Every structure is written in C-alpha cells, then in structure tokens.
Structure 1
C-alpha cells in the first residue's frame, strides 16, 4: 500500500501542509492517515481504489486546517531611548530676539531699530543658508526683521509726505489805512 505512487504523493503533500502545525500533532496526523490508508487499501490496491479512498479522506489542506498551529514565541521589542530634542540654534535665537526688539522699538527709536533690524536680517539669512540651519527660528527672524525694515520705510515715507504744514512768517507789510 505505501509503495503506491498516489499514496506516496498524498502523504508527501500532507507532510508539507502540516509543516506549520504543532510537531507532535504533525506526526500523529501522518500516522493516523497512514493507518487509515493501510486498513482501507489492503496489500495491492488498484489505482482506482487508491483514488477513491484518497477522495474519501479529503484534501490535504482540509486535514492540515484541523490541526493546531505551531505555538509562536512572542517577539521581544527592544525599546530605544527617546531621541533627545534638538537644541535651538543660538544664532537663530539671537537673530529672532534682535528682530523682535527692533520691531518693538521702531516707533520709539527708529535710529536704533533700523540698524538692529539690518543686523538681525543678515544673521538670520546666514543661518537659513547653512545646510543645517533651515529652522523655523531662522525663518521667523528673517520675516520679522524684513517686516521691521519695510515698516520703517513706510513710516519714513509717511513722515516725508506729511511734511511741515506750519506757515512761515514772512515780511510784515503795513498798509496805510484810509481815513474817511
């Protein structure tokens, strides 16, 4: 019986289908199917008899589906330490603080605000152009100092346009008053 090629092929397929099952149940299932085939087929069965008995057993996938899968060992997850937060670039912080001070002092002291805004803008642009310097702080300093310079220009134009509207005293002319 076990010499028949159809039986050997069926048992090999069953062995492969049971590869993911519990090892003890794998062996027990193979032995049970072998015993059943030996009892059902006898010594020298015909190919038709073998096909009929194998069809009665069902597919190897159906048999393998009824077994217990291999117990998997739970995986251990190695926790990595949390990355340390990146420290802000000191140059970008200085540029941002200088640009905010320039913006706040624009109305009170434009002669201090404009040079301070220019210095902050230069430092911020240098920080932005560095490969590792493209930070929000550097860009914020560029925007605030640029805004300060634009506002100072608008304020200067406004003051020039308003000009001095007080009349200048001119020469005094007296005209004789005619008597009546």
Structure 2
C-alpha cells in the first residue's frame, strides 16, 4: 500500500473536502489538487513505501484540514455584502417644471369638454368632477403611498401632470357650475319691470 492510497490520506482528504463544502467548486478542487501534489512530493522524499508514521508526520506538517480550509478562507477575497441596487437616475427640476406645465395645459384643454357636459346636464358635470378627483387621488396614492421597493418615478411623473390638470379643470368646472346656477336663478325671476307713476 502506497502512502497516497493510505486510509489516513483518504480520511484526511475526505475531511478536508467536507470542510471546503461551502467554498466555490473551482476553489475547492484547486485546494484538493494542491494538497494531493504536496502529499505526492512529500511521500516521494520519504521513500517508495512510507510507513504509517511517515504518513502521519507529513499530514501533521501539512496541518489539520481545518487549518488548510481556514487558509483558503483567508486567501479568498471578502464576500460582498448584500448587493445594493444602483440608485435610479435623478429627474432634473426642468423635467418636473415641464410636467407641471403640461398638466396646466391639459387642464385647460379638458375643462371646456367637461363644461359642455355640464351644459347638457348638471349631474354630468358633477360626475366628471368626481371622476377627475378620484383618478388624481388614485395616481397620488400610487406615486407616494406605501409600495415597498417598487419604482414609483413613473407614477410621480403622472401625478405631476394630473394634479395641476385637476386643479385647473376643477376650478373651471366649479366656476361654470356657479355660472349655470346663477344663470338659472336669474332666468326664473323674470325681467324687471319699472313702473313710473
């Protein structure tokens, strides 16, 4: 029996392999190959048939499997902590200003259409106003509400357009509703007739 096939060497290598179980496969194979080469060279110096005492001495000189596995851990580069997702690029102030301006223009464009609904029937005007406020609120909740780690930038941009549009359209709608109510009230009173005596 040669030293390489000795039960002591087989037990040592099996123990070392268990201790390296958490290491990457390539590193584990490299260490095991290096230890085998070192043992082959050490046993070649000991003669053609080393005794069990020679095998124990070579293994003791090499160090325990814990020592060899620990040396690999010290030589390995430190594992990175939990990977951090890169921060999303910041949106410039100019983009936000343009979004708000787009919302103001959208409100001015949508308001006359909704006022036309109000002329047809006041209930349609109220329904349109409630719908616009509800949609804007929903977008605001999606943009600024609790959503975990999901990106909210798109919702925030949508809210930057929806809020000014809602404010402008709502102001125009409320003004038109007031105008319609006042107009209806003055029409019912009839013309004022002045009688001279």
**Which category of TM-score, normalised to the shorter sequence, fits these structures?**
0.3 to 0.5
Q: Comparing both chains, which one has the higher relative contact order based on Cα–Cα distances under 8 Å and sequence gaps of 6 or more? A: 2
- Give the TM-score, by structure 1 length: 0.38
- Give the TM-score, by structure 2 length: 0.35
